[in-house]
Every structure is written in structure tokens, then in C-alpha cells.
Amino acid sequence: MVDSDFQQQMQGYGLSTVQVHFWMPDHRSLLQQLVFQQYDLAPKFPRLGQFLEFWRSDIEAVLHSVCVAHNRLIGPAEWQAVDGVITIN
């Protein structure tokens, strides 16, 4: 069985680190932070968009800012056939 994370990476997904700053309506002077990682497609980030839409509709906290770092871990273009053997003494 192939790992689902590996399958996503082969489809072009890369690891995204998302940093969300927010405050609760009753504590507006306290800026809080949430950091999480997920596999997503850059540059449109559809999974992040779904998360933010859920946040806006179902969570009382007010978004202040969102910072995204994305790293494409494995892509189909990185695989190449090797024709020969290299020996190192």
C-alpha cells in the first residue's frame, strides 16, 4: 500500500506551513497564533481556502493575518533514469 502523503506529492502537492494570527471577539487585545502543516497545491492553495472558508463561517475568532510557506517536496520532474554506474574510491 502506497502512503497517501507520497501519492499527493507525486501529484504536485507540497508541504505548506500555515501561520494564522487571530483574536477572539471578547479578548481583542490578545493576538493569538495557530501554526499547522498540510499538503496543498501552490499557488492557489485550495485546501487552505477551504480551511479559511470554514474559519469564517463556523469559528468566532477574527482573522488578523495568514502567512503561508510552501515547499514542493517531490515532483515527477525530479525522477530521472540513470544510465550507468558511478564508482567512488
Q: What is the total count of domains within the chain?
A: 1
- pLDDT tens column, 43-71: 889 999 999 999 999 999 999 999 998 87
Question: Is 52 part of any domain?
Answer: yes
Question: Is 55 part of any domain?
Answer: yes
Question: Is 85 part of any domain?
Answer: no
- Residue 42: per-residue pLDDT: 86
Quote the pTM value. Answer: 0.71
- Residue 70: per-residue pLDDT: 85
Question: Is 42 part of any domain?
Answer: yes
- Residue 73: per-residue pLDDT: 44
* 12 CB-contact burial (10 Å; exposed 0-12 / middle 13-18 / buried 19+): middle
State the cell numbers at 20: 494564522
Question: Is 68 part of any domain?
Answer: yes
Please report which confidence band the pLDDT of residue 11 belongs to, taking 50, 70 and 90 as the band edges: confident
Question: Is 86 part of any domain?
Answer: no
